[in-house]
Amino acid sequence: MAGSGKNHLRSESENIILKVEDLVVEFPSSKKDFVHAVSNISFDLETGETLGIVGESGCGKSSTAKAIIQLPKPKSGSVLFKGTELMNLAKEELRKIRPKLQMIYQDPISSLNPRRNVFEIVNEGSKIWGDLGQETSALIESVGLDPDEARTKKPHEYSGGQCQRISIARALALNPQILICDEPVSALDVSVQARIINLLEDMKSQFGLTVIFISHDLSVVKNISDRVSVMYLGKMCEIGDSDLIYEKPAHPYTRVLLAAIPDPENMHSGTVDLLEGELPSAINPPSGCRFRTRCPRAEAICEKEEPVLVQIGNEDHWVACHFPHIDIELDALTSEKGEPIDRITEDEILWPPAD
């Protein structure tokens, strides 16, 4: 299955804080149909790492994030946080563990209580959970806001960027170990985006956080992530070291996303045609590879057989595609069983592009 396969999980690492396996999220859409929002994806996070998750609107990024914190509980799969299986926890046990896994929601303004002042909102966590070691005024100050003003103002009196900072402060007040940021900067203009990203990086080192950073914009994710995972229609297409993904994108979809970044120095612009058409319906996704209906390289096998994530060379770079863009001289593919894959022939080398 495209995006399935688990060879990319780092089972030998002792530093794994979160391991997600075979995650499935479905929503009922009618009496007998389901939206297949997330279909069998697996990934892990090392302590202190930032994983970027990218993909176009509707590919399942938020559903993945919410499934990790079990809001709502996913249909199936495993979410292992520091060795504890969250899928098996009863409500009360889950409630106790939640402060450690904090999420900044996609729409910060609507996630902030409009009736409370901002100081109360940030302070709320310590009221519920007792002193978690974070001083509210200092936290508000650390995200660049005035604590005295925060005692009198409500969320609607702040700008979008400021509300994003309030959400960050509120999450950090609970002293989390993992911070999930769902499109934290998409609604903001570029200068505010940069400020929020810098703030997140400062907070990350100051609080020793592990971060999942979600965005539809690869250029934003690039600056903050150690590893990047690319999603398409509920599947994972490519995952690995963020520099490798940016320098040698192997999945046709990743290449389209990179080519679309509006930057005059973008080395990928013009290398591929931009995507046309809408994301297919997640109720009845295409068979085989879910990207095949929009992929310029699709062949008969792509309809029949879903590709699994396989390793490129010996690097931290994994792709789920029957015909990835790789340099076969340098980057042999290894199957899930550790055997070399020889499906790609010399005339199919597409990285670097032939012309």
Ligand X SMILES: Nc1ncnc2c1ncn2[C@@H]1O[C@H](COP(=O)(O)OP(=O)(O)OP(=O)(O)O)[C@@H](O)[C@H]1O
The DSSP bridge pattern shows strands 340-341 and 333-334 to be: antiparallel
Residue 215 binds to Mg ion (criterion: CB under 5 A) = no
Q: Which stretch binds Mg ion (CB under 5 A): 59-67, 108-116, 136-144, 284-292?
A: 59-67
Residue 246 binds to ligand SF4 (criterion: CB under 6 A) = no
CB atoms within 10 A of CB 298: 18
Q: Amino acid letter at 349? A: I
Query: Between residue 195 and residue 214, which ones bind ligand SF4 under the rule CB under 6 A?
Result: none
The number of residues in the chain equals: 355
| Minimum CB distance to ligand X, residue 271 (Å) | 24
Q: 91: which 2 tokens? A: 């409500």
Task: Quote the CA–CA distance of 127 and 132 in Å, as a whole number.
Answer: 10
Q: Which residue has the tokens 């499109």?
A: 183
Residue 233 binds to ligand SF4 (criterion: CB under 6 A) = no
Q: Which stretch binds ligand SF4 (CB under 6 A): 63-71, 131-139, 318-326, 330-338?
A: 318-326
Among positions 55, 249, 252, 285, the unique one binding ligand SF4 when judged by CB under 6 A: 252
**DSSP characters over 12-60:** T-S-EEEEEEEEEEEEE-SSS-EEEEEEEEEEEEETT-EEEEE-STTSS
Task: Work out what residue 325 binds among ligand SF4, Mg ion, ligand X, none; the CB cut-off runs from 5 to 8 Å by kind.
Answer: none
Eight-class DSSP state of 141: H
Nearer to ligand X, 166 or 282 (CB): 282
Residue 64 binds to Mg ion (criterion: CB under 5 A) = no
SS3 state at 103: strand
Q: Which stretch binds ligand SF4 (CB under 6 A): 84-92, 96-104, 135-143, 295-303?
A: 295-303
Nearer to ligand X, 40 or 142 (CB): 40
Positions in the binding site for ligand X (CB under 6 A): 27, 35, 37, 55, 57-63, 106, 216, 282
SS3 state at 37: strand
| Minimum CB distance to ligand X, residue 218 (Å) | 13
Task: Work out what residue 295 binds among ligand SF4, Mg ion, ligand X, none; the CB cut-off runs from 5 to 8 Å by kind.
Answer: ligand SF4
Q: Which residue has the tokens 């509300």?
A: 163
Residue 170 binds to ligand SF4 (criterion: CB under 6 A) = no
Q: 288: which 2 tokens? A: 């085989």
Residue 321 binds to ligand SF4 (criterion: CB under 6 A) = yes
Nearer to ligand SF4, 66 or 255 (CB): 255
Residue 351 binds to ligand SF4 (criterion: CB under 6 A) = no
Chain Cα centroid distance, residue 179: 12
User: In sequence order, what E strands does the chain have?
Assistant: 16-28, 34-46, 50-54, 76-81, 84-85, 101-104, 178-182, 210-215, 227-232, 235-241, 310-312, 317-319, 333-334, 340-341
Among positions 66, 216, 322, 325, the unique one binding ligand SF4 when judged by CB under 6 A: 322
Closest CA to 231 of 248, 253, 256: 253
Name the site residues for ligand SF4 (rule: CB under 6 A).
252, 289, 291-292, 295, 297-298, 302, 307, 321-323
Contact set with Mg ion (CB under 5 A) = 61-62, 106
